[in-house]
Amino acid sequence: MEKKKQALKVIFYNFLILLIILIFFEVFFGYWFKDENFGIYIRDQRNVERKFDINHYGQNYKYTFKRNSLGFIGNEIDPKKIKIVFEGGSTGEQQFTPPEFRIVDQLNSFLKNDQIDLQIINASKGGKTTRGYYNDFKSWFPKIKNFKPEIFIFYTGHNDASLKLPKHFDNVKRSNYFDQLEDYIKNNSIIYEIKLKIQNKYFGKIRTNYGLYEKDLYDNYQYMDYLKAKMKFNFNELNNEELNLLDNFKKNLNNLNKEISKMNIIPVFITQVRFDGISTKTLFIINETLKEFCNSNNFHIIKLDEMVKTFEKDDFYDKIHTGINGSKKISEILYPELKEILINY
């Protein structure tokens, strides 16, 4: 009996010593008391590595989608060096597109080829709307030490035009207390970070999708360009859902504008198009309202919806997401105007 008690004491003291070591390890190497403490925000956005095996146009591409320790898409970067940030939803995030073919990466490639020493850092996330941009300014960016970007590019339209997009996509924190505690630990624990890196490197599952492209998407294809949309859709004939959508969008833009002023940044907005142009009234409404907002505030806006005349088959793999070819076309259309804006600051 005495030996059993002695063994239990040894186990208890060893456990206590291990616990103390872990606590000291967390205190010194974790983020609990540091300026870059992310609290309960940007959950599942840091130290991400997802392996993909995706088929585009009959060819398989294997790659890793990465988010760094700050939550930005791509490899680690010193926050001091971040001067240009790209904000968007899934059409800017492009998880299902190999890195070298994404819109942001191609724009960076064009800048490099022109020997322009600028890099666009991608902060996009699937489902993000203008409310999500505002939340980023309130709850994410202030957590990043020495983060003082000069230009923000907002690729805006599809998500704000959706009548059915769940609001939780924009939420930066969960309502349940225990969920918040879980997020707080995940965002600040060095042990969890090490565990995640090991898991990503050695045990990360491969996400496979060989049916990415929607069948029959281009059956009876007709492209509605800006002039046709302008003739078809009437701003004076909006139903209650459309009016609520518009009011919400304006409110989000005004809130975002306040944060733009606080950070003293230069905003650049880009309108969006679908695979068949501006074929939905809500997207037309959002694009036109965004133009009016930029005009009244003297902000830069690149009117992609007016610049694109048509798309080809397989430029998009669904109604709003570009494949490799579509991403290339959009990048090539955006670059000349965006380049002029960037090199003048």
List the beta bridge partners of residue 121. Answer: 85
- Residue 3 in domain: no
Q: Describe the crossing of helices 240-263 and 281-297 by its angle, rounded to 10 degrees.
A: 30
Question: Is residue 293 in a domain?
Answer: yes
What's the predicted TM-score (pTM) here? 0.90
Read off the CATH number of the domain in which 253 is found. 3.40.50.1110
- Residue pointed to by tokens 């944060």: 259
256 in a domain, yes or no?
yes
Rounded to 5°, the CA angle 251-228-277 comes to 65
Where do the DSSP E strands lie in the chain?
48-56, 59-67, 84-87, 120-122, 151-155, 206-209, 266-270, 300-302
Q: Which domain holds residue 295?
A: 53-169+205-343
| Residue 8 belongs to a domain | no
- DSSP secondary-structure letter at 11? H
Q: Pick from 64, 83, 81: which is nearest to 73 by CA?
A: 64
- In whole angstroms, what is the distance from residue 120 CA to residue 155 CA? 13
Number of domains comprising the chain: 1
Has residue 40 been placed in a domain? no
Calpha distance 273→89 (Å, rounded): 14
What is the full per-residue pLDDT of the chain (345 aa) written as tens digits?
A: 676 777 777 787 788 888 888 887 878 777 777 766 777 777 678 889 999 999 998 899 999 999 998 999 999 999 999 999 999 999 999 999 999 999 999 999 999 999 999 999 999 999 999 999 999 999 899 989 899 999 999 999 999 999 776 665 676 667 787 788 888 888 788 888 888 778 877 777 888 888 899 999 999 999 999 999 999 999 888 999 999 999 999 999 999 999 999 999 999 999 999 999 999 999 999 999 999 999 999 999 999 999 999 999 889 999 999 999 999 999 999 999 999 999 988
Tokens of 115: 């020997």
Query: Does the residue 313 lie in any domain?
Result: yes
Answer left, alpha or beta for residue 64, where phi above 0 means left and psi between -120 and 50 means alpha. beta
Has residue 101 been placed in a domain?
yes
**Residue 46 is assigned to a structural domain of this protein:** no
DSSP structural state of residue 200: I
